[in-house]
Structure 1
Amino acid sequence: MKASVIFSTYNAVEWLEKVIIGFDNQTERDFEIVIADDGSDEKTKAKIDSLRTQINIPIKHVWQEDDGFQKTKILNKAILASAADYLIFTDGDCIPRKDFVATHLKYREANCFLSGGYFKLSMATSKAITPENIKNQDCFSISWLLKNHMKFNLKFIKLLSSKLITSILNMVTPTTPSWNGHNASAYKSDLVKVNGFNNDMKYGGEDRELGERLINSGLKSKQIRYFAICVHLDHARGYVSEEVWKKNNEIRENTQKNKVTFTPNGISNVSYSE
């Protein structure tokens, strides 16, 4: 298959279902879904088992016991579980537009990783989205969003579909093309080479640190911020910790300063078996 789509989840069944429906609605069909489950309860497993019978994309459910925020570890396990040589990463709260997978495959390039963004929704809009709205692509329509609790702002430009305009925006955006966990992709071999995500990191910059090691190892980063589109469902973040942020920032500073390419505590420190 052409790609493995990897995303994390944790006890967010309603959002998870919307994301999976989004991937079942893709124009490109030759890929698998690998769900990196950081300790969800049985409700998540039951929903995934149910959705397997309803969609035509293969789903792998990679689960680990709940031990606090351990996203990096479960993502590394998901990488091991993936079958394709090209990996697309997003989050379990991001609904992909129908050309999301096709776009990542179109712009993939050797010795390069792709960097995308997202359009953030309000909680009211997130809840208003139905399976039909995803199948009809309503949730990517500016007019539909304005009718469903969103207020107009300049970030709506992210949802434009004009190839000319989006190409120009990708060239002129001041945003650095970094590794963004909600929308990024790379060859599996490049991720394994740097030993994947740093298991010592919890929430806060852990995705960016991976991208910094990829760049240190010689990869370029390519901007597809206005090509690969997903909408971000709102949610609380009870796992945010100032102490963790401080530790993560120290790790990132070391990675940047010393041009670190390999984390000692990464893929090689986890295991996965079906």
Structure 2
Amino acid sequence: MDSAVLHQLVELANAFNRIGLKPVICGGVGIYLLFQDRSYEIRATSDIDLMIPHSQAVEEAQREAIAELITGGLKYVVCEDGRCFRFSKEPGQQLDILAPPIKEVTTEGERVKLVRSRLHGRLTPEACFIEEDLRTVDLVDLTSELRSAGPLLVSVPSPTNILILKLFAFADRDSDARRNEAHAQAHAYDVYLVAALALPGDYQEGRRFLTRHATSHVVQRTRTIIGAKFSTLEQSGWRHVLASSAFYPGRPMQARRERLDIARRRLLRWFEEQGLT
């Protein structure tokens, strides 16, 4: 992991842990933390997606405390292109704030106004189950340099929730209205990584999750995205992965397609409707 990103994570963990919370880390950094023992396959990323889940946002005092530690204690500065939900600090550290729908908090357009005029979360409806099956990661385990720091705890969404977030994000950036090829490719590659790196226990946990939420619009929409964009190698999801310079460069195309097809079949089996147990 890039040393600047690790330093940023340590700062966040310290600040959140001091007020009795664990930051919920999504995006590419979250995938790194999920599969840190196989991190050589994971794409580099320099920004952190921080999810503020329902349990951390339901009380006003706690929302105020989070806003204060981000803008006060950690001295993040709001970015004009994402006012109140995108922050930065030197050197080149970016923090994006996400939030699921929270009935106790005002939502205006695509903003969950956690603390008006100070801290908003980008509305992420597909994160409505984000607190189920959360994983805890101790940053101390990432490097021997942190051994004396004591526990530095963060939370990471389950592989199934990460897949849901990434599939929705890909569909958004692969749509005519908001098409962005670079972002779409990054999201598609992350879908590949989770499908390829997940262990049998991750899959079984995911099947139980899908059983609990079989009638959910989010789950049904996820399956629709997979069917339209990830069910064959010729569809746009996997074509974006094949076009990535990070996907087994120098290997023959047939070998790359075979490796990709393994991930494709895993993803289809993960979210298939038949035989939920």
> TM above 0.5, one fold?
no
TM-score norm. by structure 1 comes to 0.32
RCO comparison, higher one (Cα < 8 Å, 6+): 1
Structure with greater proportional helix content: 2
Specify the structure having the higher radius of gyration (Cα). 2
